[in-house]
Amino acid sequence: MEPLIKVVTVEETPCLSIYAKVANEEMGVTVAEAFHEVAEHIISNNGTLDGAPFVYYHGFDDKTTSMECGWPVWQEAPESSSIKRFTIPGGEAVTTRYMGPYEGLIDAYQKLMEFLTIEGLKAGPMWEYYLNSPDEVAAEELVTEIFWLME
């Protein structure tokens, strides 16, 4: 079944996150540790996890990925030495929901890129929300929402 691709308007989303530039093979461990650290920080400061955790991509190549890993927050929350305020930008974006193991996300991105190309749209920043966790469900049941802002 082909993924449903939609054009949507997204609002700016205030977050707390950890910036990381890591070797691609270390992404999974880095993301999991960052999600845990940011969630623990928010909760220990009487905050609320306000949505799904995300990874926002600043850039990547065949060896490394530069990213923000964190959680949306809607109340004022303190920073720490490693956890900073970050805003996911708003605007028009293409989006799709992918179900399956994280290794298959590349296929969903390829479908989004094909859509952008066919529609003559220019891609901007991209991010993913993780709607469940490998700690909760089997890899085939993981659900990831992908957003790709249009310039």
One digit per residue, pLDDT tens: the chain, 151 residues? 566 999 999 999 999 999 999 999 999 999 999 999 999 999 999 888 889 999 999 999 999 999 999 999 977 779 999 999 999 999 999 999 999 999 999 999 999 999 999 999 999 999 999 999 999 999 999 999 999 999 8
* CA nearest neighbour of 147 among 57, 46, 81: 57
Q: How many residues does the chain have?
A: 151
Give the per-residue pLDDT at 3: 67
* 65 vs 21: CA distance, rounded Å: 5
Parent domain of 53: 6-150
- 63 found inside a domain: yes
Query: What CATH number has the domain bearing residue 51?
Result: 3.20.80.10
- 27 found inside a domain: yes
Strand partners, 69: 18, 55
- 122 found inside a domain: yes
- 1 found inside a domain: no
Confirm whether pTM is higher than 0.75. Answer: yes
- 113 found inside a domain: yes
- 64 found inside a domain: yes
> Are 70 and 82 a contacting pair, CB within 8 Å?
no
Give the per-residue pLDDT at 2: 60
- The total domain count for the chain is 1
